[in-house]
Amino acid sequence: MKKLIVANWKMHGSRPMATDLVRAVAEQADTCAGRVEVVLCPPAIFIHEISELLSRSVVALGGQDCHAEAEGAYTGDISAAMLKEAGCAYVIVGHSERRAAHHEQSGAIRAKAQQAIGQGLVPIICVGEPREIRESGQAVAYVTAQTGASIPSSGDFVLAYEPVWAIGTGLTPTSEDICDMHAQLKQLVPSTRVLYGGSVNAANASGILALPSVDGALVGGASLKAEAFGNIIRAAE
Ligand code: PGA
């Protein structure tokens, strides 16, 4: 199966930076077209313009979050339908930074995923354990319970296993720990793509992506550098 490589820009970038980075990524991704699927998730304000830049590219777009309701009095929020209209095919929901800073619970994330599916988007649902849970040996039980509570009852979605302690830290789980977790998740949601995220970079991508249960990667920091992200795309081929 084709690997899926998703860039999560988080709250980084500017219009000039976005334009340069998107051009470079599109060039790399189009060279690997048919062998790797690439999705960029920039800050929402850049999506429309980037969508035009990507009109002749295989690179797809995603949002970083959406609201669980279709529309309404939710100042500052963005709906799944708006993301779709701006050119998105995907949306990240339940990222650990939102679970922590915006107190998002798994039930709310499930509702966002359901809303996204209803609007024709594929939600990328993030799950992962904090450091103390990993150290206590309860990571698999914690993540499978979190997954069960976060996934919608029907529709196509992608799961991203992102240990909280691995995000932006340069730390990654062992290959064995990644395989263990992915095997459990695949048992829970057969035929769903399961990505790994957390400190994926140009140096470790080929090792992580070679693991048979890893269907792709969700990349934060390294997705902001054209060369590093290009290497990750090539590693996924
Ligand atoms: P990182 O972030 O690659 O910078 O660790 C991954 C993520 O938060 O999705």
Tokens of 177: 């720990």
Instruction: Give which of 121, 165, 114 is closest to 143, Cα–Cα.
Output: 165
Q: Which residues of the chain have pLDDT under 70?
A: none
Query: In the annotation, is 162 catalytic?
Result: yes
For residue 128 and ligand 1, the question of a CB distance below 6 A is answered with no
The pLDDT assigned to 219 comes to 98
The pLDDT assigned to 227 comes to 97
For residue 200 and ligand 1, the question of a CB distance below 6 A is answered with yes
Query: In the annotation, is 67 catalytic?
Result: no
3-state secondary structure of 154: coil
Please tell me the distance from the alpha carbon of residue 112 to that of residue 121, in angstroms, as a whole number: 11
Tokens of 156: 């196509």
Sign of the alpha-carbon torsion through 92, 66, 116, 151:
positive
Residue 227 parent element (H or E): helix 226-235
The pLDDT assigned to 59 comes to 98
- The best mutation among 9, 200, 208 to test binding of ligand 1, ranked by most ligand atoms within 8 Å of the C-beta, falls on 200
Tell me, what amino acid is at 209?
A: L
The pLDDT assigned to 1 comes to 86
Q: Which residues pair with 61 in a beta bridge?
A: 40
Q: Which of 37, 67, 95, 104 is catalytic?
A: 95
Provide the whole-model pTM: 0.98
Number of CB atoms found within 10 A of residue 176's CB? 9
Atom of ligand 1 at shortest range from CA of 197: 6
The pLDDT assigned to 114 comes to 98
The pLDDT assigned to 123 comes to 98
